[in-house]
Structure 1
């Protein structure tokens, strides 16, 4: 995954994280969003697998 492709995901997950922290009510799906933000931000080796799963899930929800 290129750096240009990871930046939008990092920004989206960063915004979601800030909103969740401000609400002071973190649920399971929210913890997953925070974890995904960390993985995208850290660019760890597992990012390729996580990116494939996220892309698959998003394409399933959008029907593309």
Structure 2
């Protein structure tokens, strides 16, 4: 289950990245993924639970030592 605080935090992070990308007017593939994640977290669709698990899995993979 996603808490409101976690979803809000990810929405703010991906929203900030989206604003910076739109201002630069140069969007590559990984940047388009960030924009898409912002939309998913902002919309709170039922698929957000699966995507949130994937995002947490990726973050734990990068931070695992």
CA-atom RMSD in angstroms: 0.9
Counterpart position of 2:31: 30
- In structure 2, the residue matched to 1:60 is 61
Which residue is 2:6 aligned to?
Answer: 5
Bigger relative CO (Cα 8 Å, ≥ 6 apart): 2
Unaligned runs of 5+ in 2: none
TM-score (norm 1): 0.96
Query: Which structure 1 residue ranges, 5 or more long, are not aligned?
Result: none
Partner residue in 1 for 2:41:
40
Q: How many residues align?
A: 64
TM-score between both structures, scaled by the size of structure 2: 0.94
